[in-house]
A = this chain, B = another copy of it.
Amino acid sequence: MEWSARIERGDDVVVSVAEGAHDLGVAVAEALGERGANVVTLYGSDEVSRAYLNAHDGDFDESPEYERALFENADSVLRLGGGRNTAADADVPSERRQAYSKAREDVREARMATDWVSTVHPTRSLAQQAGMSYEEYEDFVYDAVLRDWSELAERMAKVKDRLDETDEVRLVKEDTDLTMRVDGRVSVNSCASVAYDSHNLPSGEVFTAPYATEGEVFFDVPMTINGRRVRDVRLTFEGGEVVDWSAAQGEAAITETVETDDGAKRLGELGIGMNRGIDRFTDSILFDEKMGDTVHLALGRAYTSNFPEGSEGEANDSAVHVDMITDMSEDSRMLFDGDVVQEDGKFWFEE
């Protein structure tokens, strides 16, 4: 609340509470009351969404005014995730999901224009997804979240500063040799505070919006896209766009992502994970992409925070933003303008 959302007296705060996040919702409400903020509480239930989406014929109204007005007039949106079944909406057809997402772009933009923070409460469902006992998973979450954020912010600033002077990033590892342009972009030191334009808790990544991507990349970290398991994704880029793709498991989820719209064929994000409090993959993108010594790339929508003022219109636009992760801790190199800045998980400033 102090570091992340920077809530002050009189702030208009929307809190979204997932099915399993009740206890965190109560704690957040108490903290908001103490600060004298205002609160509207949404129910972020995947089962409710699934029932609605599956019953709807798919011809959704464009960004209904009442919902847009809620977010347009809000200062902050705190999304408290943590459901009871990570596959709760796995049987919603992806066309339905995409149609809903497209129809509500203005609502999403209004929400993203607030000081939003997304976090999760540890639930049994997330523990199961991670293959961990509940108690073990609770420790994992609190280890990832309760960091010395200002110390990490300083370390990440080194990477941000150097990245901002870089024109081209190159990733080299097994089945991977990928180059991306990043000039004209501003990277974000995402240290879990809206004051740094960082909206996830935990965070711990430096990210930018790459373009003109060329080459091949292999994502060896398993993940879940829209409730479906996806493993060993390979993408080939030519002229900035995906031209070929495959996956050892869940290839259909990649195909649907790439075919959503034109923007989904381009990268929206290059993220460099630097949170070493996250010590293993748990099949949750909120944690996995922040893990130290990883890199993630997202197909689809870019964050406007990576664009200098006035050039936000250049941000890659898409109804989707799908992250995929590759491990950089072994047999790997990251180069900025030809200089190795990280090798086998070690940055140039680390010994």
Contact = CB atoms under 8 A, between A and B. Distances in A.
A41 B42 contact: yes
Nearest to A34: B55
A340 interface: no
A19 interface: yes
Nearest to A69: B69
A66 B73 contact: yes
Interface stretch (A46-54, A134-142, A168-176, A196-204): A46-54
A56 interface: yes
B52 A33 contact: yes
Contact of A48 (B10, B41, B57, B69): B41
A69 B64 contact: no
B38 A64 contact: yes
A52 B34 CA distance: 8
A39 interface: yes
Contacts of A74: 66
A64 B33 contact: no
Given A36-B57, A61-B10, A73-B65, A45 B31 contact: no
A350 interface: no
A39 B66 contact: no
B61 A49 contact: no
A36 to B, nearest CB: 6
Nearest to A104: B38
B64 A43 contact: no
Contacts of A52: 29-30, 32-33, 39
B70 A45 contact: no
Contacts of A54: 30, 33
A95 to B, nearest CB: 15
Contacts of A14: 66
A26 interface: yes
A122 B29 CA distance: 26
A204 to B, nearest CB: 29
A65 to B, nearest CB: 5
B51 A33 contact: yes
Contacts of A351: none
Contacts of A48: 17, 22, 25-26, 29, 41
Contacts of A17: 43, 45, 48
20 contacts: A10-B61, A12-B66, A17-B43, A22-B45, A26-B48, A27-B51, A29-B55, A30-B52, A30-B55, A31-B55, A32-B52, A33-B54, A34-B55, A36-B56, A40-B67, A41-B42, A41-B48, A42-B42, A66-B71, A66-B74
Listed from nearest, the 7 A-B pairs whose CB atoms lie closest are A33-B55, A66-B73, A69-B69, A43-B43, A33-B56, A30-B51, A29-B52
